[in-house]
Amino acid sequence: MRCPHCGCRDNHVVDTRSTGQGQAVRRRRECKECRGRFTTYEYIQERPLRVLKARGDSEDFERAKLVRSIQVACAKRPVSPSTIDAIAGNIQYTLTVEGGGEVRSSRIGEMVMEALKPLDRVAYVRFASVYRNFQDIQEFQEMIADLNLRRERSLRARDQVELPI
DSSP string, 71-98: HHHTTTSS--HHHHHHHHHHHHHHHHHH
Could you tell me the pLDDT band of residue 163, with boundaries at 50, 70 and 90? low
Mean predicted confidence (pLDDT) in 18-36 = 86
Angle between helices 63-73 and 81-98 (to 10 degrees): 140
pLDDT of residue 67: 94
Q: Round to whole Å and give the CA distance between 32 and 44.
A: 27
pTM of the model: 0.60
Residue 70 pLDDT > 90: yes
Q: What is the largest CA-CA distance in the chain?
A: 84
pLDDT digits (tens, 9 = 90+) for 117-153: 889 888 988 888 777 666 667 776 777 777 778 777 7
